[in-house]
């Protein structure tokens, strides 16, 4: 049965929850390393403390995707997961800046990441559930717009509070985390919950067309055993293009994790010459957030250009060039002589980020069966989180033994890794030319 067409306003409603999700995610990406250092973490220990992000993504996303496919309640199929994840993530965001010890912040990050993944993963199937095929590109584009908006606003919020509203000081006596971070996380908590709640209340879901068949399939495939079996079989039966892309994805996401973990400490200590707890360090961390806003803003704008480029060039060619821009941006950061030049360099990362969120999935979408599109896209997520796990387990040792505790060297390592990803990508064999529908479908990622 053909799904009914939705208005632009209805597409906005069903996508708005992503704004809140990305706002909370952006706060975490821009501030967690600094929070750890405010609580006394050594730079070599930070990667291991970030291990929560990839581990929870590896476990939670495939399972939530699998079980949400088999869920139907009075609230619908995906919306129960949206709501539960939003409640838990909002509470974790409130608690995070009030952490009194390193172990507390690390534990809260596990809760926060798991909760964000519970909300985020079903949104990827929401568009396919509700929109007819010819409208899906509009749904994905709307999600992309709201993702970009949330990332830009959240990353720059601490800097805005300091430099526009003159907020200063710590959250409370004995808490070294700046008041600007406290307020930003409280704002993020409210926006996360309210944005997701808005989607839950404004967007009804349609029940399965054949409820008897749905319930029969649910009964036959119930349980964690079946879930893990299907995921394992999917990994073993990956198409050739998916296996080849996995290598390029490894070096790409290793580079991104180097940036997410060490960019704020690198800017704060090397460009602003601060130490954790000093005003210079806080200024550097806040400027790093501004730089994150720059790359997210550039990615948002550049994503629309990508939709025009795919009509003239292959996805592999576009992605190769974009990764080179990203590598150049990270490498240029190490030689930038002023904060403005660092922000300009991050525009290159924004170009790469727009492509990273779309082109690999566009390449993949032409190489996997249509009836297993969602499943294989979920399995493909493994090659996003595995390099992050490697980085979390190995970067600390590398930082301590090889890089001499120099956080800027980790950014250079990230630039080199992204450049290597561009080289590896040239060996990927595209099965078909990229189509407009494949490119539009990929925007959601």
The per-residue pLDDT for range 328-385, each reduced to its tens digit, is 999 999 899 899 999 999 999 999 998 888 788 777 766 666 445 556 666 777 788 8
434 within domain boundaries: yes
- The CATH number of whichever domain residue 337 belongs to comes to 1.20.1250.20
Distance (Å) of CA 363 to CA 240, 268, 309, 367, 431: 12, 38, 14, 7, 8
What per-residue confidence (pLDDT) applies to 308?
Answer: 77
Provide the token pair at 429: 């064999």
Q: Please enumerate in sequence order all residues whose Cβ is within 8 A of that of 47, keeping only pairs 6 or more positions apart, or say none.
A: 257, 261, 391, 392, 393, 394, 395, 396, 399
What radius of gyration do the chain's Cα atoms show? 21
The per-residue pLDDT for range 155-176, each reduced to its tens digit, is 999 999 999 999 988 877 778 8
76 within domain boundaries: yes
What per-residue confidence (pLDDT) applies to 428?
Answer: 85
The per-residue pLDDT for range 77-120, each reduced to its tens digit, is 889 999 999 999 999 999 999 999 999 999 999 999 999 988 88
What per-residue confidence (pLDDT) applies to 436?
Answer: 45
Does the pLDDT of residue 36 top 90, yes or no? yes
5 within domain boundaries: no
Contact 69, 164 (CB under 8 A): no
217 within domain boundaries: no
Distance (Å) of CA 175 to CA 108, 112, 285, 384: 16, 20, 17, 34
The per-residue pLDDT for range 172-227, each reduced to its tens digit, is 777 889 999 999 999 999 999 999 999 999 999 988 776 777 667 666 666 677 77
| Average pLDDT over every residue of 295-301 | 90
The pTM score is 0.80
DSSP state of 166: -
230 within domain boundaries: no
The per-residue pLDDT for range 134-151, each reduced to its tens digit, is 776 677 667 777 888 898
Owning domain of residue 365: 11-206+238-442
The per-residue pLDDT for range 232-291, each reduced to its tens digit, is 776 777 777 888 888 999 999 999 999 999 999 999 999 999 998 899 999 999 999 999
271 within domain boundaries: yes
Residue 439's φ and ψ, nearest 5 degrees, are: -65, -40
Provide the token pair at 185: 């996380």
Q: What are the residue ranges of helices labelled H in 44-178?
A: 46-49, 52-69, 79-95, 102-130, 136-163
Q: In total, how many domains does the chain have?
A: 1
223 within domain boundaries: no
211 within domain boundaries: no
């Amino acid at each position: 049965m053909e799904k009914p067409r939705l208005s632009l306003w209805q597409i906005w409603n069903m996508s708005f929850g992503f704004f809140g999700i990305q706002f909370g995610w952006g706060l975490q990406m821009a501030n967690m390393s600094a929070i750890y250092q405010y609580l006394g973490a050594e730079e070599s220990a930070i990667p291991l403390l970030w291990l929560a992000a990839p581990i929870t993504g590896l476990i939670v996303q495939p399972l939530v995707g699998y079980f949400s496919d088999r869920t139907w309640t009075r609230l619908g199929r995906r919306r129960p997961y949206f709501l539960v994840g939003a409640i838990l993530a909002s509470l974790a965001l409130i608690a995070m800046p009030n952490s009194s010890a390193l172990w507390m912040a690390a534990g809260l990050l596990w809760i926060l990441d798991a909760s964000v993944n519970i909300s985020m993963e079903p949104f990827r199937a929401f568009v396919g559930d509700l929109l007819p095929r010819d409208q899906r590109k509009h749904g994905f584009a709307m999600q992309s717009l709201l993702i970009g908006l949330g990332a830009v606003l959240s990353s720059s919020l601490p800097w805005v509070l300091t430099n526009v509203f003159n907020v200063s000081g710590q959250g409370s006596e004995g808490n070294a985390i700046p008041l600007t971070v406290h307020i930003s996380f409280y704002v993020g908590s409210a926006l996360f919950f309210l944005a997701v709640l808005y989607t839950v209340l404004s967007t009804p879901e349609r029940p399965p067309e054949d409820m008897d068949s749905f319930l029969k399939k649910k009964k036959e495939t119930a349980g964690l055993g079946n879930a893990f079996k299907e995921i394992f079989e999917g990994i073993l039966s990956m198409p050739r293009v998916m296996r080849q892309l996995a290598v390029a994805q490894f070096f790409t996401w290793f580079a991104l994790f180097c940036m997410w973990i060490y960019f704020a400490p690198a800017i704060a200590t090397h460009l602003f010459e601060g130490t954790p707890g000093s005003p210079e360090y806080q200024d550097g961390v806040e400027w790093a957030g501004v730089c994150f806003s720059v790359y997210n803003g550039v990615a948002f704008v550049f994503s629309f250009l990508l939709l025009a480029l795919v009509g003239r060039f292959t996805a592999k060619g576009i992605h190769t060039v974009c990764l080179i821009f990203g590598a150049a941006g990270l490498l240029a950061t190490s030689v930038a002589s002023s904060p403005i030049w660092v922000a300009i360099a991050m525009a290159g990362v924004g170009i790469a980020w727009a492509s990273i969120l779309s082109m690999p999935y566009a390449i993949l979408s032409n190489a996997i069966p249509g009836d297993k599109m969602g499943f294989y896209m979920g399995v493909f997520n493994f090659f996003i989180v595995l390099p992050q796990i490697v980085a979390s387990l190995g970067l600390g040792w590398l930082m301590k033994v090889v890089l001499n505790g120099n956080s800027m060297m980790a950014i250079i390592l990230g630039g080199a890794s992204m450049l290597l990803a561009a080289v590896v990508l040239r060996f990927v064999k595209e099965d078909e030319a990229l189509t407009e529908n494949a490119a539009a479908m990929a925007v959601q990622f």
